[in-house]
C-alpha cells in the first residue's frame, strides 16, 4: 500500500512536470501572442486565488468575500516596491516621484505582497472572524471596499499614486513564470490541507462546536486559515499586476470576488484540483472560446445568426454558471480530488464490474 | 448657523438618499427575515427598474411607462425568486447565497448586453425633476418629496404587514418557518409576495434615485444595494423601522462626509459602520436576539 502511494506520487509529479514541459515547448513553437498563453497565464493566477479562497470557504467553512481586497493589497505592494528608482519620477508625476526611493528585486516584491496582505488579514481578522456565516461574508466584502477607497485617496498619493495607474514595474514574459509560482503556492496549500492544521480546519468546517469540544482552538485556527489564504491571495495579486503590466485600485471591485467565488463553486467547494480545473475553464471560456458569440456578423451559410453582438458571450456564460449553481451544485469535482490513485481505483472498479458481468453471462 | 448654512444642501441630499436607500433596504430586510438570505441581486433589480423605464419611455408616454416598469420590476422579483432561490430551499444556506451572487452576475451581464456598455440617461420626470430653491439652496424637487413618499409607503407597508392576512402569514413565516408551514401557511406564496413587495419598493426607490442621479450603467445598482443592506443590518435585520432609520442615518452621514470634501470615503464610511455595528451590536438597533442551538 505504502509502495503504491509512493508510485502514485511519482506518477503525479511526472504528469505535472510533463505539463510544464509541454507549455515550454509550445512557447518556443507558437507565436507569443497566441490566446493559449494569455489563458494559461491568467488561468494560473486565478487558479491560485481560487484555491486560496477554497481554503477558507471549502476547507475551513469561513464564507469570506474579501479576496479582491487582498489581491489589491498584493498587487499594490508589488508595484510600489518594485518600480525601478529611475522610473519613479515618471510614474508618480503628480506626487513628486513618490515617497519610496528604492526598489526591491522581483522575488522579494512577490513575497512582500503576500506578507502585507497577510498582515492586513490578521488585523481585520481579529474582530471580523467572530462573526458567523453571512455576516462574515458581508463584513469582508465591506473591508475590501474600504481598502479600495483608501488606495484611491489622494492624500496617500505619495505611496499609492492616488487614483492614477501604477506602471513600469518589472513584469514576466514567459508563461512558465506565473505557472511555476502558482504551482508552488498551490502545492504548499495542499500540504497544509493534508497536515494536522488542515484536519483541524476541516473539523471546524464540519461542526465548530464539536471541534471546540475536541480541543481545537477556534479563534486561533480561523485566524490562521484567514491569514494564510490572504497571503496567497496577495501573491496572486502581485502576479495579476505583472500580467496586466499596470495596476489601478478601481479594478478590484466586488465583482472580481464574485467571479472567483463562482470559479470555486464551479470547481466544487472543497476541492483544490476542482478549483484549478475550473479557473482554466472559466478563463478560457470568458477570454477565448466564447469570443465568437461577440461577433455580430456571424453567418451559417447565408443565415445571419441573430442576437450575436458584443456582450452576448457574457450573457451565455452567466446562464451556464447559473445552470451549474442550480442544477449541478457539487460542481465539477464535488469535494473529491483529481488523483492518479483515484483513476487507478476507478479503472480497477470498472474491470471488476466487467469481470462480474462476464461471469453473469456465463 | 454657519455650519447649518454650508451643510444644508448636503443634509437635504442626505435625507433624500436616505429615503431612497430605505426603499431598497426594506426588500433586503424582508427577504432576510423570511429566508435568512442576503439577496445580492436586489441592487440589480433596482438597476433593472431604471433601465425598463428608460427603454419603455422611448416608446410610451411617461405616465404609462413608469407604472408599467414598476409592475414589471415586481414580476422580475417574483421570477428571480422562482428561478434562483426556490429550487435551493432545502439546500445549505450558502448555496442560496451563491445563487444570489450568480443571479446578480447574470443580471449585470444581461444589462451590459442590452445597453451595449453605454451609460443610459433617465428621462426627466415632470414635476419631481424640476429645480426648486429652499433656504437659498438649489435642488431638485425630488429631494424634498422623497422623505414623504418613503414615509407614506412605509406606513402602507406596515399596515399591510399588521392587518392583512398575507401580512400575518409573513410575520408567522419569519418567526418560525417550519411551524408556519405546519399551520397551513402557504410558504411559497408568502415568499413570492415578499419578493414582489420588495421589488416594487425598489422600483419606486429607483425612480426617485435616478431622477436625481440620471446616469444608469449595468453596475450602478451594486453600491446603493450594498449600502441599503448595511442599513438593514444597522437597523437590525428583519425589522422594517430599523432598516428605515438605518438608511436615513447612512444617507445623511454619507452626504455630510461628501460635504467635508472626503468623497473617496463616503462609500467606505458605510462599511466601517457595518464592521463597527457587527462587532458591538450584532443584532442592530431593533433586531431580535438570536440564540444558537447546537
pLDDT, mean over chain B: 86
Give the Cα-Cα-Cα angle A165, A167, A169 (nearest 5 degrees): 150
Q: CB–CB of A254 and B226 under 8 A?
A: yes
Q: CB–CB of B116 and A134 under 8 A?
A: no
Phi, psi angles (nearest 5°) of residue A247: -130, 140
Domain around B218: 2-274
**Residue A304 Cα to chain centre, angstroms:** 39
Distance CA A32, CA B103 (A): 37
Q: CB–CB of B98 and A318 under 8 A?
A: no
Average pLDDT rounded to a whole number, residues B141-164: 89
Q: pLDDT at position B294, please?
A: 47
Q: Which residues touch A269 (CB under 8 Å, ≥6 apart)?
A: A54, A57, A58, A331, A335
Q: CB–CB of A152 and B99 under 8 A?
A: no
Average pLDDT rounded to a whole number, residues B85-112: 89
Distance CA A203, CA A216 (A): 9
Beta partners for A299?
A304
Q: CB–CB of B97 and A259 under 8 A?
A: no
Q: Name chain B contacts of A149, Cβ cutoff 8 Å.
A: 264-265, 267-268
B213 found inside a domain: yes
Q: Looking at the predicted structure, is the pLDDT value of residue B289 above 70?
A: no
B87 found inside a domain: yes
What part of A 174-213 touches B (C-beta under 8 Å)? 209
Q: pLDDT at position B92, please?
A: 81
B101 touches chain A (CB under 8 A): yes
Give the Cα-Cα-Cα angle A78, A138, B203 (nearest 5 degrees): 115
**Residue A237 Cα to chain centre, angstroms:** 9
Q: Name chain A contacts of B99, Cβ cutoff 8 Å.
A: 322, 325-326
Phi, psi angles (nearest 5°) of residue A252: -85, 65
Q: Which of A255, A229, A75, A73 is nearest to A146 (CA)?
A: A73
Q: Looking at the predicted structure, is the pLDDT value of residue B76 above 90?
A: yes
Report in angstroms the alpha-carbon separations of B8 from A18, B134, B177, B261: 68, 9, 46, 15
Q: Which of A285, A284, A286, A264 is nearest to A332 (CA)?
A: A264
- Among B25, B38, B105, B220, the strongest candidate for a mutation testing the A interface, having the largest count of A CBs within 10 A, is B105
- The beta-carbon neighbor of A142 closest among B109, B110, B275 is B275
Q: CB–CB of B271 and A146 under 8 A?
A: yes
Q: pLDDT at position B2, please?
A: 64
Q: CB–CB of B268 and A312 under 8 A?
A: no
ipTM summary value? 0.84
A265 touches chain B (CB under 8 A): yes
Share of chain B above pLDDT 90, in %: 33
Q: Name chain B contacts of A310, Cβ cutoff 8 Å.
A: 116-117
B174 found inside a domain: yes
Q: CB–CB of B267 and A145 under 8 A?
A: yes
Q: Looking at the predicted structure, is the pLDDT value of residue B293 above 50?
A: no
A149 touches chain B (CB under 8 A): yes
Average pLDDT rounded to a whole number, residues B107-120: 88
Report in angstroms the alpha-carbon separations of B72 from A345, B20, B78, B216: 54, 19, 10, 18
Q: What is the pLDDT of residues B200-251, one digit of tens each?
A: 999 999 999 998 888 888 888 888 888 898 898 888 877 888 899 999 999 9
B280 found inside a domain: no
Distance CA B252, CA B259 (A): 10
Q: Looking at the predicted structure, is the pLDDT value of residue B99 above 80?
A: yes
B84 touches chain A (CB under 8 A): yes
Phi, psi angles (nearest 5°) of residue A303: -85, 120
A175-202 per-residue burial string, b: 16 or more CB within 10 A, e: under 16: bbbbbebbbebbeebbebbeeebbebbb
Phi, psi angles (nearest 5°) of residue A167: -150, -175
Distance CA B98, CA B198 (A): 20
Q: Name chain B contacts of A290, Cβ cutoff 8 Å.
A: none
Region at A106 (left for phi over 0; alpha for psi -120 to 50; beta for the rest): alpha
B30 found inside a domain: yes
Q: Residue A121, exposed/middle/buried by CB under 10 A (0-12, 13-18, 19+)?
A: buried
Report in angstroms the alpha-carbon separations of A317 from A288, A289, A294, A331, B177: 12, 11, 12, 15, 35
B283 found inside a domain: no
Q: CB–CB of A325 and B98 under 8 A?
A: yes
Q: Which of A222, A233, A63 is nearest to A147 (CA)?
A: A233
How many domains does chain B divide into?
A: 1
- The beta-carbon neighbor of A142 closest among B94, B106, B274 is B274
Q: Which of B156, B159, B157, B129 is nearest to B144 (CA)?
A: B129
Q: What is the CATH classification number for the domain harbouring B231?
A: 1.10.3470
Taking the CB of residue A140, how many other CB atoms lie within 10 A of it? 30
B292 found inside a domain: no
B294 found inside a domain: no
Q: CB–CB of A131 and B278 under 8 A?
A: yes
B98 touches chain A (CB under 8 A): yes
B281 touches chain A (CB under 8 A): no
Q: CB–CB of B109 and A311 under 8 A?
A: yes
Q: Which residues touch A171 (CB under 8 Å, ≥6 apart)?
A: A242, A243, A245
Q: CB–CB of B98 and A261 under 8 A?
A: yes
Q: In terms of CA atoms, which chain A residue is nearest residue B234?
A: A135
Q: CB–CB of B38 and A145 under 8 A?
A: no
Q: Which of A53, A48, A40 is nearest to A257 (CA)?
A: A53
- Count how many residues are written for chain B: 294
Distance CA B186, CA B166 (A): 10
Cell of A287: 477570454
Q: pLDDT at position B1, please?
A: 54
Q: Report chain B's terminal Cα–Cα distance, integer Å.
A: 56
Q: What share of chain B is helix, strand, coil (3-state, %, to 5)?
A: 75, 5, 20
B261 touches chain A (CB under 8 A): no
Cell of B147: 422623505
Q: pLDDT at position A75, please?
A: 94
Q: Name chain B contacts of A312, Cβ cutoff 8 Å.
A: 113
Q: Name chain B contacts of A145, Cβ cutoff 8 Å.
A: 226, 267-268, 271
Give the helix/strand (H/E) hosting B171: helix B165-175
Cell of B159: 399596515
Q: Residue B290, exposed/middle/buried by CB under 10 A (0-12, 13-18, 19+)?
A: exposed
Distance CA A106, CA A172 (A): 10
Residues A279/A43, Cβ–Cβ less than 8 Å:
yes
Residues of chain A falling short of pLDDT 50: none
Q: CB–CB of B265 and A131 under 8 A?
A: no
Amino acid at each position: 500500500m505504502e509502495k503504491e502511494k509512493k508510485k502514485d506520487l511519482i506518477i503525479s509529479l511526472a504528469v505535472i512536470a510533463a505539463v510544464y514541459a509541454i507549455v515550454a515547448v509550445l512557447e518556443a513553437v507558437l507565436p507569443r501572442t497566441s490566446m493559449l498563453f494569455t489563458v494559461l497565464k491568467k488561468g494560473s493566477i486565478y487558479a491560485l486565488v481560487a484555491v486560496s479562497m477554497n481554503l477558507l470557504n471549502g476547507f475551513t467553512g469561513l464564507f469570506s468575500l474579501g479576496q479582491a481586497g487582498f489581491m489589491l493589497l498584493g498587487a499594490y505592494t508589488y508595484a510600489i516596491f518594485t518600480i525601478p528608482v529611475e522610473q519613479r519620477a515618471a510614474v508618480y508625476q503628480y506626487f513628486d516621484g513618490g515617497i519610496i526611493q528604492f526598489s526591491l528585486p522581483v522575488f522579494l516584491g512577490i513575497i512582500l505582497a503576500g506578507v502585507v496582505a497577510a498582515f492586513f488579514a490578521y488585523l481585520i481578522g481579529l474582530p471580523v472572524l467572530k462573526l458567523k456565516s453571512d455576516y462574515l461574508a458581508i463584513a469582508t466584502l465591506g473591508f475590501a471596499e474600504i481598502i479600495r477607497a483608501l488606495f484611491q485617496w489622494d492624500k496617500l498619493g505619495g505611496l499609492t499614486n492616488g487614483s492614477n495607474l501604477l506602471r513600469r514595474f518589472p513584469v514576466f514574459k514567459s508563461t512558465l513564470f506565473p505557472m511555476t509560482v502558482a504551482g508552488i503556492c498551490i502545492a504548499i496549500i495542499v500540504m497544509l490541507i493534508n497536515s494536522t492544521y488542515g484536519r483541524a480546519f476541516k473539523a471546524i468546517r464540519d461542526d465548530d462546536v464539536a471541534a471546540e469540544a475536541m480541543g481545537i482552538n477556534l479563534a486561533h485556527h480561523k485566524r490562521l486559515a484567514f491569514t494564510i489564504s490572504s497571503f496567497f491571495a496577495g501573491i496572486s495579486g502581485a502576479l495579476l499586476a505583472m500580467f496586466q503590466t499596470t495596476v489601478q485600485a478601481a479594478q478590484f471591485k466586488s465583482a472580481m470576488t464574485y467571479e472567483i467565488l463562482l470559479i470555486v463553486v464551479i470547481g466544487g467547494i472543497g476541492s483544490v484540483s476542482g478549483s484549478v480545473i475550473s479557473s482554466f475553464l472559466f478563463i478560457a471560456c470568458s477570454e477565448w472560446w466564447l469570443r465568437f458569440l461577440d461577433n455580430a456578423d456571424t453567418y451559417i451559410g447565408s443565415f445571419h445568426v441573430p442576437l450575436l453582438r458584443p456582450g452576448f458571450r457574457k450573457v451565455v456564460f452567466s446562464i451556464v454558471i447559473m445552470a451549474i449553481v442550480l442544477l449541478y451544485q457539487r460542481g465539477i469535482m464535488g469535494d473529491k480530488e483529481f488523483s492518479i490513485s483515484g483513476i487507478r481505483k476507478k479503472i480497477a472498479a470498472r474491470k471488476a464490474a466487467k469481470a462480474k458481468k462476464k461471469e453473469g453471462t456465463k | 448657523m454657519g455650519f447649518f448654512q454650508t451643510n444644508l444642501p448636503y443634509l437635504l441630499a442626505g435625507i433624500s438618499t436616505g429615503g431612497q436607500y430605505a426603499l431598497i433596504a426594506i426588500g433586503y430586510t424582508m427577504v432576510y427575515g423570511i429566508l435568512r438570505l442576503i439577496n445580492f441581486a436586489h441592487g440589480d433589480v433596482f438597476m433593472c427598474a431604471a433601465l425598463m423605464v428608460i427603454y419603455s419611455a422611448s416608446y410610451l408616454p411617461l405616465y404609462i411607462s413608469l407604472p408599467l416598469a414598476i409592475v414589471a420590476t415586481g414580476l422580475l422579483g417574483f421570477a428571480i425568486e422562482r428561478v434562483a432561490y426556490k429550487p435551493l430551499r432545502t439546500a445549505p444556506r450558502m448555496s442560496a447565497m451563491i445563487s444570489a451572487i450568480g443571479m446578480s452576475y447574470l443580471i449585470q451581464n444581461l444589462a451590459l448586453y442590452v445597453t451595449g456598455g453605454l451609460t443610459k440617461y433617465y428621462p426627466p420626470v415632470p414635476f419631481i425633476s424640476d429645480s426648486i430653491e429652499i433656504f437659498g439652496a438649489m435642488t431638485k424637487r425630488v429631494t424634498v418629496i422623497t422623505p414623504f413618499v418613503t414615509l407614506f409607503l412605509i406606513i402602507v407597508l406596515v399596515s399591510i404587514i399588521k392587518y392583512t392576512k398575507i401580512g400575518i402569514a409573513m410575520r408567522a413565516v419569519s418567526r418560525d418557518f417550519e411551524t408556519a408551514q405546519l399551520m397551513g401557511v402557504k410558504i411559497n406564496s408568502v415568499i413570492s409576495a415578499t419578493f414582489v413587495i420588495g421589488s416594487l419598493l425598489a422600483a419606486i426607490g429607483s425612480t426617485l434615485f435616478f431622477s436625481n442621479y440620471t446616469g444608469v450603467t449595468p453596475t450602478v445598482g451594486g453600491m446603493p444595494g450594498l449600502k441599503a443592506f448595511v442599513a438593514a443590518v444597522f437597523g437590525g435585520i428583519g425589522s422594517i423601522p430599523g432598516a428605515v432609520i438605518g438608511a436615513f442615518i447612512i444617507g445623511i452621514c454619507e452626504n455630510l462626509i461628501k460635504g467635508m470634501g472626503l468623497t473617496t470615503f463616503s462609500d467606505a464610511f458605510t462599511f466601517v459602520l457595518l464592521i463597527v455595528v457587527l462587532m458591538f451590536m450584532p443584532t442592530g438597533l431593533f433586531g431580535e436576539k438570536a440564540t444558537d442551538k447546537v
